[in-house]
Amino acid sequence: MARKFRITEEGRKRLTAQREETVAKLAKVLTGWSPEDLKRFVADLERFNTDIERVAGRPWPHSAR
């Protein structure tokens, strides 16, 4: 059975606030990292996420639905 969900305005506000908080915290953690460090981190994180999806049987990138 398929279901569709729509986010409420309150939900959208909370999600936006949570994302802003997460970005601010990440910025604090990454302060002082060199461009090379950031580039390596991004590459490793992309590989990690891709491998998680592969192991879970959901190869990345996902096809458009």
Sequence-distant (6+) residues with CB within 8 A of 1 are none
> In this structure, is residue 4 part of a structural domain?
no
Residue 42: per-residue pLDDT: 96
**Tens digits of residue pLDDT in 5-17:** 999 999 999 999 9
Q: Quick check: 62 pLDDT over 60?
A: yes
Residue 36: per-residue pLDDT: 98
Q: Quick check: 1 pLDDT over 80?
A: no
Number of structural domains in the chain: 1
* Identity at 22, one-letter amino acid code: T
Terminal-to-terminal C-alpha distance of the chain = 16
Sequence-distant (6+) residues with CB within 8 A of 38 are 30
> In this structure, is residue 19 part of a structural domain?
yes
Domain containing residue 29: 9-55
> In this structure, is residue 41 part of a structural domain?
yes
- The model's pTM: 0.63
Residue 7: per-residue pLDDT: 94
